[in-house]
């Protein structure tokens, strides 16, 4: 008996080595057949080898989940390890949402066979619940983790936090996070991502600053989250902090995701110089640029106004995908270079690349900017008839814009009746813009009132309606609209502001107020310019009567007003030109 057991162990170890060295399913099937036919293996050793076979088939890159399922189903009394392996494999595969997920079915079978789940089982079941956003099942799994005494395990807690944040239940995630006696970096990352998903950007950044150790996932989460949450400046600040800590031997380097997010932040802010710096950093650091980064760089240069650099980066891309082509076409369309956009589209098609819906959106935008109605109709038609792309609401908005700019209001209104979906604010907004352009008061009033009905708290539609009513001389209606705005407490959402880059630093001026230090410097400079220009005799040749006034207050920010009456025989353009030259002359002499 003892000799038989020793012989079984010896054969079992040999088979384990064969499985570990296996490189293909063909080899594994041969090993499997030998295990089945071997008369020297005990039941326990046979079960152990079946579990190793299942693990290889389910987890290995050269494995087969189908074969793993067969091994599992044909094994008598599979152990908990085999259940965990199969649950893990099923939770990682994409299955039909209309069907019961196989991982959950197997989990129920596991419980029926009196197997207690462990700290490996629960996280993968919760992962399945996250992929399906199945709140009720996930809640039950959380209850099971408490019932079976697994709720204190850090991996189970992290998975639970991730589940609740994915379902939008930040308070539940916070409760789990607060109850953790031991937190690892995954715990912090999970709750930070949850805050970002819920729009709690300030809370996410506060947690981020409390972390002692951060990995690349932490940095990417906070930077990407800030960009997507509408705080690109904060994202760039985090990026610079990352670089500064890297210099202090932090050893966390930006990766492709980091850089793509930072480039997107520069694009949304219009910070061309900063975007250039990031591009140079990518080239200097030797990071391999994938198509996402290259496309982001093209988009950044284009939207920041440097079309030539966008074209240069685009042409340096050897294997262009549809996103790269579309990005460059969009750049041309954005700046009104319609012919270049159309030529590039022809080259794209000639290269064998199939356009996508975004490509046609860019082409229709170019047609709208150039007033090319027939060409716009043609692109809209071939998109459906030749490329079999169903128009989205954005495409219909572009067509309304094209027709509206051309004054074809009847055809534009027919678009609304032909649309298979309800028109959104973008479609109605395109028609409203056309009415304002052509002074179509009748349709414009109807459209503006409809938009106000759709979004009663959007101040822009009230402003547009006021503009239409003022131009039509309907001052009573205009007053009623303004009263309605006041009753609803509507004002401009964002204060007027502007930015200027000086020596690499970005200075922002807002009607709400700016930095007191900067304002003091500007006051001093304007006072000196005022004094120097008054002393310049050239000014007397242009002005019959002049008055300089400087105004600076918290409400108005910094404003320099030059009021003047120009000689009757001098045009305003000449006056402005000479004044600009005079300011340039005075400022240059001050520098020298």
The reply to whether 327 falls in a domain is no
Nearest CA-CA partner of 401 in 457, 357, 450, 363: 363
- Is position 240 within any domain? yes
240 and 308 share one domain: yes
Q: What is residue 538's predicted lDDT score, i.e. its pLDDT?
A: 54
Q: In this predicted structure, what is the pLDDT of residue 423? A: 87
Instruction: State yes or no: pLDDT of 514 exceeds 80.
Output: no
Residues 529, 566 within the same domain: yes
- With 60 as the cut, is the pLDDT of residue 460 above it? yes
Beta strand spans in 514-576 (E): 543-553, 557-566
Number of domains within the chain: 3
Greater model confidence, 519 or 111: 111
Count CB neighbours of 153 within 10 A: 18
What is the per-residue pLDDT for 561? 39
pLDDT at 8: 57
Q: Is residue 352 part of a domain?
A: no
Q: Are residues 399 and 452 in the same domain?
A: yes
Cβ of 195: how many Cβ atoms within 10 Å? 25
**Do 525 and 476 fall within a single domain?**
no
Do 395 and 485 lie in a common domain?
A: yes
Question: Residues 242, 298: one domain?
Answer: yes
Over range 515-522, report the average pLDDT.
64
Q: Residue 36 falls within a domain, yes or no?
A: no
Token pair, residue 169, equals: 């239940």
Does the pLDDT at position 569 exceed 50?
no
Asked if the structure places residue 41 within a domain, the reply is no
pLDDT at 453 over 80: yes
Query: Do 469 and 551 fall within a single domain?
Result: no
Tell me the average pLDDT of the chain.
82
Looking at the structure, do residues 487 and 410 belong to the same domain, yes or no?
yes
Question: What local confidence, expressed as pLDDT, does residue 573 receive?
Answer: 44
Percent of the chain beyond pLDDT 90?
44
Shared domain check, 305 and 232? yes
Q: What is the arithmetic mean of pLDDT over 97-116? A: 85
User: Is residue 95 in some structural domain?
Assistant: no
Contact 122, 145 (CB under 8 A): yes
- Taking residues 72-90, report their average pLDDT: 90
Residue whose tokens read 């910070």: 271
Does residue 124 belong to any structural domain of this protein?
no
**Domain end call among 265, 284, 319:** 319
Using the predicted structure, report yes or no on whether residue 194 has a pLDDT greater than 80. Answer: yes
- Say if residue 403 is in the same domain as residue 484: yes
> Domain ends where: 319, 350, 371?
319
pLDDT band, residue 583 (cuts 50/70/90): low
**Structure confidence at residue 361 (pLDDT):** 95
pLDDT at 15: 76
Environment class of 73 (CB within 10 Å of its CB; exposed 0-12, middle 13-18, buried 19+): exposed
pLDDT higher than 90, residue 390: yes
Among the three residues 319, 351, 383, which one is the final residue of a domain in this structure? 319
pLDDT in tens, 462-511: 888 888 888 888 888 888 888 888 888 876 555 556 666 665 556 666 65
Smallest CA-to-CA distance from 162 within 200, 124, 199, 136 is with: 124
The CATH code of the domain that includes 405 is 1.25.40
- For residue 186, give the DSSP letter: H
Q: Which long-range contacts (CB under 8 A, 24 or more apart) does 528-535 make?
A: 528/590, 529/583, 529/586, 529/587, 532/586, 532/589, 532/590, 533/582, 533/583, 533/586
Q: Which domain holds residue 562?
A: 513-591
According to the model, what pLDDT value does residue 366 have? 94
Predicted pLDDT of residue 88? 92
- Region 582-591: mean pLDDT is 54
Higher pLDDT, 20 or 109: 109
Q: Quick check: is 176 in a domain?
A: no
């Amino acid at each position: 008996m003892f000799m038989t057991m020793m012989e079984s162990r010896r054969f079992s170890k040999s088979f384990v080595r064969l499985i570990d060295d296996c490189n293909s399913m063909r080899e594994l099937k041969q090993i499997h057949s030998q295990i089945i036919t071997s008369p020297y293996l005990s039941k326990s050793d046979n079960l152990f080898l079946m579990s190793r076979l299942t693990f290889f088939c389910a987890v290995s890159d050269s494995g087969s989940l189908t074969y793993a399922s067969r091994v599992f189903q044909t094994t008598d009394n599979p152990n908990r390890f085999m259940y965990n392996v199969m649950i893990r494999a099923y939770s990682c595969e994409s299955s039909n949402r209309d069907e019961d997920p196989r991982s959950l079915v197997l989990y129920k079978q596991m419980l029926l066979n009196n197997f207690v789940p462990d700290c490996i089982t629960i996280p993968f079941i919760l992962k399945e619940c996250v992929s399906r956003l199945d709140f009720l099942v996930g809640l039950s799994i959380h209850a099971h983790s408490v019932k079976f005494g697994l709720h204190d395990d850090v991996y189970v807690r992290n998975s639970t936090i991730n589940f609740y944040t994915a379902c939008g239940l930040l308070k539940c995630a916070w409760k789990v996070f607060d109850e953790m006696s031991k937190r690892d970096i995954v715990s912090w990352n999970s709750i930070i991502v949850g805050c970002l998903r819920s729009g709690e950007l300030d809370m996410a950044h506060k947690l981020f600053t409390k972390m002692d150790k951060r990995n690349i996932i932490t940095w990417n989460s906070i930077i990407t989250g800030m960009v997507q949450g509408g705080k690109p400046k904060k994202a760039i600040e985090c990026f610079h902090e990352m670089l500064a800590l890297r210099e202090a031997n932090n050893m966390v380097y930006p990766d492709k995701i980091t850089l793509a997010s930072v480039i997107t932040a520069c694009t949304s802010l219009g910070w061309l110089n900063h975007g250039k710096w990031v591009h140079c950093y990518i080239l200097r650091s030797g990071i391999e640029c994938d198509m996402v980064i290259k496309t982001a760089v093209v988009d950044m240069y284009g939207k920041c106004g440097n079309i030539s650099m966008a074209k240069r980066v685009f042409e340096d891309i050897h294997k262009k995908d549809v996103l790269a082509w579309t990005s460059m076409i969009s750049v041309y369309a954005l700046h009104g270079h319609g012919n270049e956009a159309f030529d590039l589209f022809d080259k794209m098609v000639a290269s064998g690349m199939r356009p996508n819906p975004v490509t046609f959106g860019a082409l229709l935008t170019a047609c709208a900017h150039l007033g090319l109605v027939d060409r716009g109709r043609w692109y809209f038609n071939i998109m459906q008839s030749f490329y079999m792309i169903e128009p989205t609401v954005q495409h219909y908005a572009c067509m309304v814009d094209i027709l509206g700019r051309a004054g074809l209001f009847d055809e534009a209104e027919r678009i609304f009746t032909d649309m298979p979906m309800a028109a959104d604010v973008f479609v109605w907004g395109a028609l409203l813009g056309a009415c304002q352009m052509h002074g179509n008061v009748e349709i414009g009033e109807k459209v503006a009132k409809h938009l106000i009905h759709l979004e009663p708290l959007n101040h822009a539609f009230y402003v547009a309606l006021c503009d239409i009513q003022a131009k039509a001389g309907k001052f009573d209606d205009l007053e009623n609209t303004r009263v309605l705005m006041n009753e609803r407490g509507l004002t401009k959402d964002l204060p007027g502001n502007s930015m200027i880059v000086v020596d690499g630093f970005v200075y922002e001026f807002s009607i709400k107020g700016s930095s007191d230090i900067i304002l003091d410097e500007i006051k001093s400079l304007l006072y000196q310019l005022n004094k120097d220009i008054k002393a310049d005799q050239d000014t007397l040749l242009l002005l019959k009567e002049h008055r300089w006034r400087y105004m600076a207050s918290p409400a108005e920010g910094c404003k320099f007003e030059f009021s003047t009456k120009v000689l009757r025989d001098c045009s305003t353009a000449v006056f402005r030109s000479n004044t600009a030259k005079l300011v340039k002359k005075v400022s240059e002499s001050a520098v020298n």
